[in-house]
Amino acid sequence: MPMTSNSARAAPDQATAGGDDTWMRLALEQATAALGHEDVPVGCVVVDERGTVIGRGRNRREESADPTAHAELVAMRQAAAALGRWRLDGCTVVVTLEPCAMCAGAIAQARAARLVYGADDPKAGAVASLWNLVGDPRLPHRVQVRRGVLAEESAELLRAFFRQRRGRR
Ligand code: ZN
């Protein structure tokens, strides 16, 4: 059996454990923290198969002057460092906004079991909106996806940020 097939199927009890809302609240806290350095408020946490948060990240593109410092990559690097391996088998990536192509690609590369996200991103989303990079049957690893968790809170945070930025110009 190929090594990738196990991680593609997350245990159903993970999805129904009631943890997704709790983890999304932590991701929203990270998103709010991004506002402190004028970064677009997107936050992410990575949770292992036991439900322990092993990575937290917020968008730090402005803060770090790094085009790849999206919340998901920051959180996944921390999670991989905590595990001491690049594979995030059994892990759930919880992010406030639909991942872009870079992050969706990284989530699949990391072999994450599940992706939970809040608001859709019609301009750049690479999970449902523009592409589906984590569920393409041509790719060896597929990620279980849950959309729309606390989506309104995530979207409102983003709207407020862009309203305020327009107001300042
Ligand atoms: Zn991204």
Residue range 60-107, pLDDT digits in tens: 999 999 999 999 999 999 999 999 999 999 999 999 999 999 999 999
87 Cα–ligand 1 center, Å:
19
DSSP string, 149-167: TTHHHHHHHHHHHHHHHHH
User: Please, which pLDDT band fits residue 140 given cuts at 50, 70 and 90?
Assistant: confident
Q: Which residue is catalytic, options 72, 98, 152, 153?
A: 72
Token output for 89: 């088998």
Q: Which uninterrupted H or E stretch holds 29?
A: helix 19-34
Q: Is 72 a catalytic residue?
A: yes
pTM exceeding 0.85: yes
How many degrees, rounded to 5, is the angle at CA 70 between CA 10 and CA 50?
30
